Amino acid sequence: MTSISPLQQRILSLDVGSKRMGLAVWEPKTRWITPLPARIRKTLKDDLKFFAALVKERAIEAFLVGLPIGLDGRITESTENALFWVNKLKTELALPVHTYDESLSTKDALELLKDRSSKQKKEKKDSVAAALILEEFMRDRGLLASTQNGIL
């Protein structure tokens, strides 16, 4: 069985939080990353239905889940929550799930949004963080040039 390169897959990136999930999509044909509106968490059943519909609507072929590893390298409650979602997405939606260290992605997202209003920062920070995770994931694999900004 041959493995498909992430470069060729339409990937949905998740920045998992306890109340919201930031979302972004990698478009393999254009090599663009598009932040989507953040998902306000509901019940597990509702969240899984939402992701199943999004997979179908956007022709998603894989997931990327950001793992918030503590700065000291320790597993945190947030890491465990993200790993829970890794397992759920694999078992419930049967698609490949990649992971990537997302330490400081929200801080970096807020830096990008520093000139926005407080309301815009709150609405956009999680999905911008998901886009940054996806951008770094692609860059680490040599799929984006270090000077190329893939976020649309």
pLDDT tens string 21-39? 999 999 988 888 999 999 9
pLDDT tier, 1 (very low <50, low <70, confident <90, very high otherwise)? very low
Q: Is residue 152 part of a domain?
A: no
pLDDT band of 146, cuts 50, 70, 90: low
Question: According to the model, what pLDDT value does residue 73 have?
Answer: 79
**CA atoms of 112 and 125, how far apart (whole Å):** 9
Residue 16 in this model has a pLDDT that exceeds 50: yes
- The predicted structure's pLDDT at residue 126: 81
Residues spanned by the domain of 50 = 9-140
Spatial distance between the Cα atoms of 31 and 52, rounded to a whole number of angstroms: 23
1 found inside a domain:
no
CATH number of the domain within which 125 lies = 3.30.420.140
Residue with tokens 């022709």: 59
Query: What is the domain count for the chain?
Result: 1
Q: Is residue 146 part of a domain?
A: no
Confirm whether 151 is domain-assigned.
no
Tell me, yes or no, whether 61 lies in a domain: yes
The reply to whether 150 falls in a domain is: no
State how far Cα 71 lies from the chain centre.
19
Asked if residue 145 belongs to a domain, the reply is no
In a domain, 109, yes or no: yes
Q: Is 107 exposed, middle or buried (0-12, 13-18, 19+ CB in 10 A)?
A: exposed
Tracing tokens 């090599």 back to the chain, one arrives at 31
